[in-house]
Chain A
Amino acid sequence: MLASRAFSLTGRRSICTSLCLRAHGHAGVVKAEDYTLPAYVDRRDVPLPEVAFVRDLSAQQKALKEKEKASWTALSIDEKVELYRMKFNETYAEMNKGTNEWKTVLGGVLFFLGLTGVILIWQKHFMYGPIPHTFSEEWLSAQTKRMLDMRVNPVEGISSQWDFDKNEWKK
């Protein structure tokens, strides 16, 4: 706008800049995309966002903005709240509010861990063969007595856990 004023002062019409074009309302300049314009954001560390939340005001809202220019004591509570909601989306309380998302997350995690267990069941049932006979109760009991008779690992290991006087495991 300033540029076109300058041109009329000199009495000459020079080549229009893109600024002039927009002032004249010509086509040929691409409309600015939303993402290139300053954006509204609900963030605790941005108390006053670059733009108001509501961009295009209704007639009712425009009238309210006019009323806002006068004394604020004339505004009702509802009008003040409406003005707030026009400028901001969420209140700090609403922004900071927690959610129940953790329940879904934890529940989902536990469920899929359960599915892992199902895989183990399938493996044991369909894939693995029988375990060696050396794991049977009678073999293990004989094996354990033999280890104790030999005094295997007497310092901190298995023989240190057995009471040889009372013939039982130490408490």
Chain B
Amino acid sequence: LARGIQHTAVRQAHRKYEPNFHDKYGNLVLLGGAAVFTTVWGYVLTQLGIEWGLSPVGRITPREWRE
């Protein structure tokens, strides 16, 4: 008997393959991973209060410092 994998019961030119993990959950894993990534890093980059040390150019309005 064939040491094959799928049932060769149906005689067809092309075998029907059982969907594997990637067929079943690939889209879910991809979108889920992207969602986790964007939420976490969106929060880290903007809300957490980390000082990223960005350039003052175009961002800071100079203010008189002499007393």
* Interface set of A (CB-CB < 8 Å, partner B): 53-56, 58, 78, 81-82, 85-86, 89-91, 93-94, 99-104, 106-111, 113-115, 117-118, 120-121, 124, 131, 135, 137-138, 140-146, 148, 158, 161-162, 169
Q: Which residue of A lies closest to B65 (CB)?
A: A142
Contact residue among B15, B22, B33, B62 (Cβ-Cβ distance under 8 Å from A145): B62
Contact between B30 and A103, CB atoms less than 8 A apart? yes
The bracket for how many chain B residues form the interface is: 35 or more
A53 to B44: give the CA distance in the assembly, Å: 55
User: Do the beta carbons of B33 and A110 come within 8 Å of each other?
Assistant: yes
A111 partner, pick from B12, B33, B44, B57, beta carbons under 8 A: B33
> Inside 8 A of A142's CB, which chain B residues have their CB?
62-65
Would you call A158 and B57 a contact (CB within 8 A)? yes
Q: How far is the CA of A142 from the CA of B57 in the complex (A)?
A: 14
Kindly state the separation between the CA atoms of A91 and B37 in the bound complex, as whole angstroms. 40
B11-A120 in contact (CB<8A): no
CB-contact partner of B31 in A86, A90, A107, A115, under 8 A: A107
Q: Is the CB of A140 within 8 A of B41?
A: no
Question: What is the CA–CA distance of A46 and B41 in the complex, to the nearest angstrom?
Answer: 48
* Per-residue interface assignment for chain B, residues 37 to 54, with 1 indicating a CB less than 8 Å from any chain A CB and 0 otherwise: 101110110001111000
A94 touches B14 (CB 8 A): yes
Question: Could you say which residues of chain B place their CB within 8 Å of the CB of A158?
Answer: 56-57
Do residues A104 and B25 form an inter-chain contact, with CB atoms below 8 A? yes
Q: Give Cα A89–Cα B25 distance, bound, in whole angstroms.
A: 26
